[in-house]
Structure 1
C-alpha cells in the first residue's frame, strides 16, 4: 500500500490530511458515506490548491476565434472564462465575465458556418465566403450531416483556418451559438461538498471560484484536479475505507456495454464530434467494424484542437474517417513529443479493479474516462471522472435550496 509518507507532500495531499482530521472527530453513529459528506461540507473551496500559473488563462471578449483557439491549445486546456472588455473596472464578477468559452464550441460553430455541402455552398471556399458576407447564419444549419462529414478533407480545414471568418470573428460574436450557460460560480466560502456535487450530479466540467472582494475568478476547479487530489490521498484512513472497494461494490460502471456511445472505424470523424456534443459527453471509443465489441482507440473533445491547429496532417485524405483521424494524430504527436499529451489511446481496466487503482490510473494517464474490458479486449462498460466523484458524496435532501435561482437557462438556439 502506498502511504502518505511515500507520496509527495503536495497541496492536494494537505487537503486530504484536513479531511483525515475531520474524519477522526465525526460522530460515531454516522455511516462512512455520511462522515465523508460531513467532512467535505466543513472545508471551504478556498482550501483547494490554485492551478499552475500557465493554466491561469482568461480570454477577452474581443479576442478573435483564431487567437482563442491558439491560446487554449498553447495552454492545453479545453475552456477558459471570457472577460467582457466593456465592463467597468469596479464591475462585479457576474458583470465582468460573459461566460465560459469552450474549444469544442468554437469548432462546431465554425463548421456550422462553413458547411461545405450546403445547397448555398458548393465548395468549402464559397461556403466560407458566404458566411463571412452574412449569407449563412450559425442558426440556419442543423448539426453536420453524414454526407458533409464524409466529404470533409484536410484541404477544407486548411482553407477554413486561413479564412477571414476564422480570423475576424470575435469571441463575443458567438456568445449565443454554444453552451455559455449555466455559468455558475462558487464563492470562496462555499464548501467542497457543493463543488463536488456540481462536478458530478450537476454535470459541470469545471467550477469557477470567485473572490467577491476583487470581483474576479480566483480558481477554476476541474474534474481532473479533483481526481488528482484523491490520488494524493492514498494511504489515509478515510480514503482507504472507500478506495479499497471494487467497482461493483460502489455501482460502477454506470454505463454498461449496450449504452456506450461509439463510432465505427469507417465512419467520418466529424460524426464522432457531433455525437459528443449532442450527447454532452467527453469522448467515445472507435470500434472495429467486424464484431463491433472491440475498440481501436478513443477520440475525446480535446482532440478537436487538431482540426484547427494542425489541418495539414489531413492534407492527403480524401475523407477523414475516425480511423484516419487516430492514425494521423498519433503520427503527428510522435513528431512533436512533449508538445501534446498522447491522444487516441484506449485505456482499460477489468471488473476486479478497485476505486483506488482506478483513480491512480486516471491521474497517471491524465484522462477523463476508462473503459471496462474483458480479457479478450471486448468492451463491457465505461467509467468517467464524474462517475467516480458521484460515488464519493451524495446530495442531502434540500441541500441546494434556492442556489440555482437566477441561473440563465441554455440558450434556445444553442447548438452544442
Structure 2
C-alpha cells in the first residue's frame, strides 16, 4: 500500500497516462479497504483515502501534457493589425473557430500574457459583420486566461467553470507562437470520462440530471429558443444578443425540439452564397432541412476514445478534422439520465451541448 506522499509522487509522474494514474488511486483505495475493519460486516468505501482526497490528488497531479494533441498543435494566430475582413477570411480558410490575437507592438521580453490582447471566435466576427444586432462601437473580445503545459487539469477545470469559457489557451515560451494549444470543453470531457471507476467520479456522475440543479423555474424562464417558422437571421440575432454558441429550434404547434443552429453552422453562410443572400427570409426549419444531409455521415457508430482524442486534439479549435452531429439531430437527455450518461452521450456525438426534454413535448 502506498503512503500518501508516495501516492502523490506516483500520480504526479509526468510519464504516466491518465488511465495509469487512475489505477494507482484505485489500487491504493482498495488496499486500504482491506486493512480496515468494517463494523457489523459493513463494507467501508473509500478506506483511509477518502474519494474527495483522491479527487484532489488525482486532478491536481494530472498535467496538461496528458491532453490529446497538445504536443503537436498548430495554432492559428491573428494580429491586432488585421482587418475584420482579413480575420474572417483567414479563419474561414483554415476552418478554425477561434484564435488568439497578438499585439505586434509588444516585445518578446514581456510576459506571454501581455503579448496577447484576447481571443476572437470566427462566429462572433461573422455575426458582428452581418449586423444581426445593433452595430456595437467595438467588437466583443473574449478574455485571455492562459495556462501552461505543466499546469494541472484541476486548474483548467476551475477556469472553464468560473469564467464559462469554451476553451483555455496553453502558452509555452519555447513555442515559436507562444500559444501552443487549447484545452477545450471537449478535451476536458475526454479526460473526465477516463476517470470512470474512481469512487468520487462515480458518486458525482451517478446523480440523475433531475437532481443536478439544471431543471429550475429560473432556467426555464431564461431558456432562449427560436421557432422553426422564424427566419434564419432571427436565430443568428439570438446567438449574438444572448452571447450563446447555439440556439434550439422548436416546432411552434407541438413545441417539439426539431434541431439546433450552432456557431459552427455559420460556415454554411460563407460556403453557400444562396443561403447567405436568403438569410433574412429563409425559415430556420427550412435551413435545417436543406442541410440535413451535409453532415449525415459524420457520426457512423461510436468513436473509440483514442480516435476521438485525436480528432478533438487540443490544438487549434479546428473543424477540419472534427465531425459534428447534424443540426436536426441534437443531443437530448431525459430527467432520469445520470450525469455520466449525459457525458457519454455528448462524447459519442462529439457535441458540446445537449437539451433536457420531457416525454410529452420531446
What is the TM-score when the length of structure 2 is the normalising length? 0.70
- Aligned CA distance change for structure 1 residues 47 and 335 (closer, same or farther; 3 Å): closer
What does 1:137-216 correspond to in 2, within 5 Å? 138-139=136-137, 176-180=138-142, 182-212=143-173, 216=178
**Residue 282 in structure 1 maps to residue 265 in structure 2:** no
Aligned to 2:344: 360
Q: How far apart are the structure 1 equivalents of 2:49 and 2:111? A: 41
Q: CA deviation at 1:290?
A: 1.2
Cα separation, 2, equivalents of 1:52 and 1:295: 40
Please identify, of 59-68 and 93-102, the stretch whose mean Cα deviation from structure 2 is larger: 59-68
**Structure-to-structure mapping, 1:79-94, within 5 angstroms:** 79-94=98-113
Residues in 2 aligned to 1:330 and 1:16: alpha-carbon distance in whole angstroms: 38
On the 8 A contact 1:269/1:322 being kept in 2, the answer is: yes
Residue 245 in 1 paired to residue 207 in 2? yes
Q: Matched residue of 2:162: which SS?
A: coil
- Structure 1 position 207, deviation (Å): 0.8
How far 1:56 moved relative to its partner? 2.9
How far residue 315 of structure 1 moved from its aligned partner, in angstroms, is 4.8
Aligned to 1:343: 326
Give the structure 2 partner of residue 162 of structure 1.
Answer: none
**Separation of aligned partners in 2, 1:307 and 1:67:** 17
Q: Which residue of 1 aligns with 2:77?
A: 58
Structure 2 partner of 1:18: 21
The more displaced of 360-369 and 96-105 is 96-105
Deviation at 1:15, TM superposition (A): 2.0
Could you tell me whether the CA contact under 8 Å between 2:325 and 2:351 is conserved in 1?
no
Q: Offset at 1:246?
A: 2.5
| Residue of 43, 58, 63 corresponding to 2:62 | 43
Residue number in structure 2 paired with 1:409: none
Match status 1:321 vs 2:283: yes
Deviation at 1:311, TM superposition (A): 2.8
Point out where structure 2 has 5 or more consecutive residues left out of the alignment: 1-13, 30-45, 300-319
SS state at 1:298 partner: strand
1:20–1:239 distance in 2 versus 1, CA, 3 Å:
farther
Q: Secondary structure in 2 aligned to 1:82?
A: strand
Q: Which residue does the alignment assign to 1:330?
A: 292
Match of 1:122 in 2: none
Distance 1:307 1:224 in 2: 25
Name the CA distance, whole Å, in 2 between partners of 1:225 and 1:49.
7
Aligned alpha-carbon RMSD (Å): 3.6
Q: 1:234 to 1:34 in 2, by over 3 A?
A: closer
- Residue 125 of structure 2 is matched in structure 1 by 106
Q: CA deviation at 1:76?
A: 4.3
Write out per-residue CA displacement over residues 359-404 of structure 1, whole angstroms, 9 at most, x where no aligned residue. 121011111111122334x25xxxxxxxxxxxxxxxxxxxxxxxxx
- Report the alpha carbon displacement of residue 202 of structure 1 after superposing the two structures with TM: 2.0
Query: Aligned pair count?
Result: 308
Q: 1:73 to 1:357 in 2, by over 3 A?
A: farther
Three-state SS of the structure 2 residue aligned to 1:100 is: strand
Q: Specify the alignment match of 1:299 in structure 2.
A: 261
1:330 match: secondary structure: coil
Q: Which runs of 5+ in 1 are unaligned?
A: 1-10, 119-136, 140-175, 380-416
For the structure 1 residues 257 and 64, does the alpha-carbon distance in structure 2 shift closer, same or farther, using more than 3 Å as the test?
Answer: same
Q: Flag the structure with more relative contact order, 1 or 2, with Cα contacts below 8 A and sequence separation at least 6.
A: 1
Aligned to 1:4: none
